[in-house]
Amino acid sequence: MTTLTEMRADVRRDLKDEVAAGYRWSDDEIDRAIEKAVLVYSSYCPLMQLDATIHTVDQGNTVSLATLTERIDVVKVEHPIDNQPYPSRRFKVWGDLLTFQDGYTGDGGVCNIYWLKKHTLGAFSTIPAAHDHIIAVGAVAFAVSSQAQYQVNLANTGGRTVNKDYGAWARAAFEAFYRLLQNARSYSPGKLVTGELTVEA
């Protein structure tokens, strides 16, 4: 498991920015770049969750999703869950409210909600160890891109082509990042399949 501190060190290593006395990127800038990479990664390979604690409303057609924090999407809802196989229900989501369709209403019992969540990378990580390098590549891309924008106003101190050099570096890093994301999504061992949608993560 890679922590944020370890990931920051990996990103600095790839940026060739490991001498603390002369950092080109502050820790906050590196952390922000990592957060952006995690967010994009989560849209390609979200964390798959199952919540079986949320109650329906007796004779009601809505369910609150407010407790599902860092939610990206809801994939499948099963109700009732008294006997298998659990029936799937059609629904729509608006904000933190899930509404059953086709005139279906709850009975006050819990439902199974299959949902997709943003990954966490801090004191602990939900990102598979095999994908840590993807986050590092993405963080490098975001960090270098930010530096390229900053250097546009400092061309007289960094040289006439400094912003172009950073820009080329950022483009190459982003190309590598999105190529890795596509491969991670295509070859992921985990799939959640519903009647209408296949989600890979």
75-131, pLDDT tens digit by residue? 999 999 999 999 999 999 999 999 999 999 999 999 999 999 999 999 999 999 999
HSE of 153, CA atoms in CB hemisphere, 13 A: 4
Q: Which residues pair with 73 in a beta bridge?
A: 116
* Residues near 113 by beta carbon (within 8 Å), at least 6 away in sequence: 50, 51, 52, 54, 63, 65, 68, 74, 76, 77, 98
Mean pLDDT of 144-167: 63
Per-residue model confidence as pLDDT tens digits over 14-41: 999 999 999 999 999 999 999 999 999 9
- In eight-state DSSP terms, residue 196 is S
Q: What's the pLDDT score for residue 186? A: 72
Q: What's the pLDDT score for residue 188? A: 56
Q: What is the Cα–Cα distance from 62 to 64, expressed in whole angstroms? A: 7
What strands lie across the sheet with 47-55, from one edge to the other? 47-55, 110-117, 71-78
Q: State yes or no: pLDDT of 69 exceeds 90.
A: yes
Q: Which helix (H) or strand (E) holds 73?
A: strand 71-78
* Residues near 22 by beta carbon (within 8 Å), at least 6 away in sequence: none
Q: What's the pLDDT score for residue 54? A: 96
* Residues near 130 by beta carbon (within 8 Å), at least 6 away in sequence: none
> What does pTM read for this prediction?
0.83
Decide which of 182 and 186 is more confident: 182
- Locate the domains of the chain by residue range: 4-44+121-188, 48-117
**Can you read off the two tokens belonging to residue 164?**
């172009």
